[in-house]
Amino acid sequence: MKVAVVGTGYVGLVTGVVLADMGNQVIGVDNDPSKLAQLRAGISPIYEPGLEEVLKRTIQEGNITFTDSIAEAVEQSEVVFIAVGTPPAADGSPDLSAVKSVACSIASGIRSYTVVVNKSTVPVGSGGLVEGIIRDAGVPEDLFDVVSNPEFLREGSAIRDTLEADRIVIGAKRREAAMKLVELYAPLERPMHITDLASAELIKYASNSFLAMKISFINAISRICELCGADVGDVAKGVAADKRISPLFLQPGLGWGGSCFPKDVQGLLRVSQDFGYDFKLLAEVIEINESQTANFMDRLSKRLGGFSGKHIAVMGLAFKPNTDDIRYAKSLAIIERVLGEGGTVRAYDPVAAANVREIHPDIEYASHVYEVAEGADALILVTEWNEFKQVDLVRLRETMRQPILFDGRRIYSAATAVKAGLEYHSIGVASSVPAQ
């Protein structure tokens, strides 16, 4: 099938290369010339395991090309995906300006029947908005349909998530349009849910908000554990053993970040308000998430007697492992808190340091994990990269001014840390101190 994908960010690029790898003829569209040059050379502009290999392969096989002209790509395609960003505007509602301008350009390229697919996360009703823009641009109603096909891939496992999706959601007004996507996705052999437009749009927000709620719930339990002397690890395991709950997205820690959960929980809260429903639960989900890191840092501040004059080591900067994405990363809130209260920071991340350096040229960056803790008054584990799980804690401790470890993702056992001579503080569990 001939497919155009407008926007070569996470969602657009992964969708484009996977469809190309399935044998479709794909045109990727982006307005950033440097990104286009990279893509044409087979270089992925984002760090995502496996993505570059598929990109290179599909270019070599001639199944994917890149252009900056939406109209040109649309003219040659039967299905056109909109996969541009919908960042939160100042009031928390998703900013749809990129979606609107892309819809206008798509309208100018439609020559024969085209299915326009919205993959960007957009508020309920946006399918109608895109349809209205294309219709108002003079495209006859029988020449196009708008379909909502939300994306559920995770950064770090994007290719696998796309190939092995739990479900493919297709929301459309007319069955014929939905069937075009069923045909496109059929080789993946995944369960497909065909709904109306609004339901498909809401499935995306509800899914991300539910997952964020699960994490906030266990993080709230971790706070109770800290107060009553329970261990949230044992509590989470016991709760998750109930198949109806499941252990997935029940990992306590510093809270959720990234480009999706913060935007989508806020987005659903706003959308609900706009429709006249005050979704107070979501406001609390956000509040728990924000106070989780603040509480962790309060505990560290108390232990150190404030951050003024203290040197803090930060291990991990990305919002989660296997990505260089730092949007709403907890590392940023931590760095800002320490700097704001008169401390200094040295950080290390296997891939995300360059991105943080752009925002924070005011901290030091270690080029190796064993350099991060030199002279530190405390070491904070922020992102649970695999290489940190295997790290030699004795070697790290030997370089520190004070042997204090705050594990924000619960990746070390208290016994191992204490054996390495470190004071061990974590989330939802009592602190452990080596015997004097």
* Active-site amino acid positions: 260
In the complex with ligand UGA, the residue whose CB is nearer, 57 or 154, is: 154
In the complex with ligand UGA, the residue whose CB is nearer, 260 or 378, is: 260
Considering only residues 301 to 330 of the shown chain, the ones binding ligand UGA according to CB under 6 A are 319-320
Q: Considering the rule CB under 6 A, would residue 217 count as an interface residue with ligand UGA?
A: no
Binding piece for ligand UGA, criterion CB under 6 A, among 26-34, 243-251, 274-282, 350-358: 243-251
Q: Considering the rule CB under 6 A, would residue 102 count as an interface residue with ligand UGA?
A: no
Q: Considering the rule CB under 6 A, would residue 251 count as an interface residue with ligand UGA?
A: yes
Locate 191 and state its tokens.
């369960």
Output the smallest distance, CB 256 to ligand UGA, in A. 3
Considering only residues 219 to 238 of the shown chain, the ones binding ligand UGA according to CB under 6 A are none
In the complex with ligand UGA, the residue whose CB is nearer, 245 or 415, is: 245
Residue type, 412: Y
Binding piece for ligand UGA, criterion CB under 6 A, among 91-99, 146-154, 173-181, 191-199: 146-154
Enumerate residues 6+ apart whose C-beta is below 8 A from 242. Answer: none
Beta bridge partners of 176: none
Considering only residues 147 to 186 of the shown chain, the ones binding ligand UGA according to CB under 6 A are 151-155
Q: Considering the rule CB under 6 A, would residue 249 count as an interface residue with ligand UGA?
A: yes
The only residue of 250, 300, 312, 352 in contact with ligand UGA, by rule CB under 6 A: 250
Q: Is residue 119 a contact partner of residue 14, using CB atoms and an 8 Å limit?
A: no
d(CA 170, CA 358): 39
DSSP code of residue 278: -
d(CA 157, CA 300): 33
Enumerate residues 6+ apart whose C-beta is below 8 A from 258. Answer: 155, 319, 320, 325, 327, 328, 329
Q: Considering the rule CB under 6 A, would residue 292 count as an interface residue with ligand UGA?
A: no
The only residue of 45, 127, 257, 343 in contact with ligand UGA, by rule CB under 6 A: 257
Q: Is residue 380 a contact partner of residue 345, using CB atoms and an 8 Å limit?
A: no
In the complex with ligand UGA, the residue whose CB is nearer, 267 or 403, is: 267
d(CA 289, CA 217): 9
Output the smallest distance, CB 417 to ligand UGA, in A. 21
Compute CA 317 distance to the chain's CA centroid, rounded to the nearest angstrom.
14
d(CA 279, CA 276): 9
Q: Considering the rule CB under 6 A, would residue 256 count as an interface residue with ligand UGA?
A: yes
Q: Considering the rule CB under 6 A, would residue 260 count as an interface residue with ligand UGA?
A: yes
E-strand stretches of 127-211: 144-148, 168-172, 192-195
Q: Radius of gyration over alpha carbons of the chain, in Å? A: 24
Output the smallest distance, CB 120 to ligand UGA, in A. 10
The only residue of 123, 258, 316, 350 in contact with ligand UGA, by rule CB under 6 A: 258
Output the smallest distance, CB 121 to ligand UGA, in A. 6
In degrees, to the nearest 5, what angle opens at C-alpha 330 toward C-alphas 11 and 253?
100
Q: Measured on CA atoms in the order 44, 50, 53, 57, is the torsion positive or negative?
A: negative
Among candidates 356, 352, 353, 349, which has minimal Cα distance to 381?
Answer: 349
E strand or H helix at 353, and its extent?
A: helix 353-359
Enumerate residues 6+ apart whose C-beta is below 8 A from 46. Answer: 9, 10, 13, 324, 325
The only residue of 123, 127, 253, 428 in contact with ligand UGA, by rule CB under 6 A: 253
Q: Considering the rule CB under 6 A, would residue 385 count as an interface residue with ligand UGA?
A: no
d(CA 397, CA 315): 13
Q: Considering the rule CB under 6 A, would residue 48 count as an interface residue with ligand UGA?
A: no
In the complex with ligand UGA, the residue whose CB is nearer, 21 or 151, is: 151
DSSP code of residue 401: S
Binding piece for ligand UGA, criterion CB under 6 A, among 31-39, 92-100, 237-245, 246-254: 246-254
Binding piece for ligand UGA, criterion CB under 6 A, among 66-74, 140-148, 168-176, 249-257: 249-257
Per-residue x/- marks for ligand UGA, 185-214, CB under 6 A? -----------------------x--x---
- For ligand UGA, the binding residues (CB under 6 A) are 121, 151-155, 208, 211, 215, 249-251, 253, 256-258, 260-261, 264, 319-320
